[in-house]
Amino acid sequence: MSISMYQASVPRLINSLGNLGRILDKAQAHVDAKKLDAAALIEDRLFPDMFSMRRQVQIACDTAKGVVARLVGVEIPVDEDTERTIEELKARISKTIAFIQGFAPAQIDGTEDKKIITKRGEKETHYTGMQFLLGHAMPNVYFHVTTTYNILRHNGVEIGKRDYLGQP
Amino acid sequence: MSISMYQASVPRLINSLGNLGRILDKAQAHVDAKKLDAAALIEDRLFPDMFSMRRQVQIACDTAKGVVARLVGVEIPVDEDTERTIEELKARISKTIAFIQGFAPAQIDGTEDKKIITKRGEKETHYTGMQFLLGHAMPNVYFHVTTTYNILRHNGVEIGKRDYLGQP
């Protein structure tokens, strides 16, 4: 008995991104009820050199699709980051969930020791599959979902930890 | 080949709490360099009904010790939440890491299907060990570490994602 690479990735990523989508529904409802400028909310950030709420959602999606594509061994789908509305961000999340859902456990299981190499400019970082999933991708997805949540909370959107955790 | 319950919990929790401790070191250095009121930073929050930075650190520690104690099947150690300085918060983190480090893989492995019941007032929630770890505890720890990070970033502490991720 143990945890498979699939169990530790796909259902967790779908859960977190699904919760993020439902959090954005509450953000939209807040914008509508208070007649706020949605663009101001989407472009808000917690400090001038941090990423905006929009980028937080995009990076959460990028990290999720990236880890699954790398583990499976397929090309990472490219998104143009053109989203400028909450609705478009929600569509980005749905598209990411659909991509992740497209893989079967057999395509991901057994990738614990798979070599994963990320490149940032000239710098290469080497991981094993498990290390990349548990030590890089999952904490990163949770980071960007939480930061989206924090930007929305800071702007008065009425959400709580239950919205972040969803149904585990 | 697969992931053990130990691999998915203890090293990940120690990594994240260790990163949190190093982030607090940078917060202390920031406070010292700018001659800030450390208490104001520790009590800061992103919205009036959110928890303060101090509580975020305490809850990250509580969640980490709680999941390990529940999986192993020992009493959850009680902490009095008396921390009022960055140094005291760092000591709380060290104490939590020491507790978690005290268990061997054999004490945690095989708890995937263990029944875990949490109580909040009258309400009981039932989990399996894997579901509690992957769907509740880990996202919660990352939530509170990220929110601590976000409060500090919002206050101008110069930290980056690398501080949050550490060495995976």
Q: Identify all chain B residues contacting A12, using CB atoms and an 8 Å cutoff.
A: 134-135
Give pLDDT tens digits for A129-162. Answer: 999 999 999 999 999 999 999 999 999 999 999 9
Tell me whether residues A150 and B147 touch, CB distance under 8 A: yes
For residue B168, name the pLDDT band (cuts at 50, 70, 90). Answer: confident
| Encoded tokens for B140 | 């919660």
| Encoded tokens for A19 | 């919760």
Residue B165 touches chain A, beta carbons under 8 Å:
yes
Spatial separation of the C-alpha atoms in residues A71 and B93, rounded to whole Å: 33
Chain A nearest-CA distance from B84, in A, is 23
- Measured CA distances, A85 to A90, A142, B34 (Å): 9, 22, 39
pLDDT at A168 over 90: no
Give pLDDT tens digits for A90-112. Answer: 999 999 999 999 999 999 999 99
Residue A14 touches chain B, beta carbons under 8 Å:
no
Instruction: Confirm whether pTM is higher than 0.80.
Output: yes
What DSSP character marks residue A35?
T
Residue B46 touches chain A, beta carbons under 8 Å:
yes
Spatial separation of the C-alpha atoms in residues B58 and B75, rounded to whole Å: 18
Q: Is the ipTM of this complex over 0.95?
A: yes
For helices A10-34 and A138-154, give the axis angle rounded to 10 degrees. Answer: 10
CA atoms within 13 A on the CB side of A115: 4
What contacts A109, CB < 8 A, 6 or more positions away? Answer: A4, A5, A6, B2
Q: Report DSSP letters for A111-123, one per residue.
A: -TT-EEEEEETTE
